[in-house]
């Protein structure tokens, strides 16, 4: 499911909201998560999961085309950990 599918499903279940308002709400939610992660903050949504960042250390990588070594600097990457409730719902 992508973002437009999500907006369509919500608008079908919540007919009293305009589709434009639902799109704006989903855009605002994703922007808030993006901004928090860019500041290395955690975003916790109870019953759903936690978004955070983790640091990847510097390393040597290989160019698959040429086989030469490339130095990759350390960087942060987004990380999501599902809540216990979400894991249980997915597994049952």
The pTM (predicted TM-score) of the whole model is 0.78
| Tens-place pLDDT, residues 40-66 | 999 999 999 999 999 999 999 998 999
Q: Tell me, what's the pLDDT at 50?
A: 97
Contact 39, 31 (CB under 8 A): no
Phi, psi of 58, rounded to the nearest 5 degrees: -65, 145
Residue 18, SS3 per DSSP = coil
**CA dihedral sign of residues 31, 36, 40, 42:** negative
Q: Tell me, what's the pLDDT at 32?
A: 96
For residue 7, the tally of other CB atoms under 10 A from its CB is 19
Residue ranges for the chain with pLDDT beneath 70: none
Structure tokens that stand for 10 in this block: 């919500």
- Token duo for residue 92: 């049952």
Tell me which residue of 40, 49, 23, 28 sits closest to 78, measured CA to CA: 40
Query: Measuring CA to CA, which residue among 23, 30, 29 is closest to residue 7?
Result: 23
Please report the pLDDT score of residue 8 as a whole number: 94
């Amino acid at each position: 499911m992508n973002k437009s599918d999500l907006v369509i499903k919500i608008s079908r279940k919540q007919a009293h909201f305009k589709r434009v308002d639902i799109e704006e709400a989903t855009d605002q939610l994703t922007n808030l998560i993006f901004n928090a992660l860019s500041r290395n903050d955690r975003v916790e949504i109870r019953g759903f999961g936690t978004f955070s960042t983790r640091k990847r250390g510097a390393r040597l990588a290989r160019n698959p085309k040429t086989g030469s070594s490339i130095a990759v600097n350390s960087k942060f990457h987004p990380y999501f950990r599902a809540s216990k409730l979400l894991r249980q719902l997915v597994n049952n």
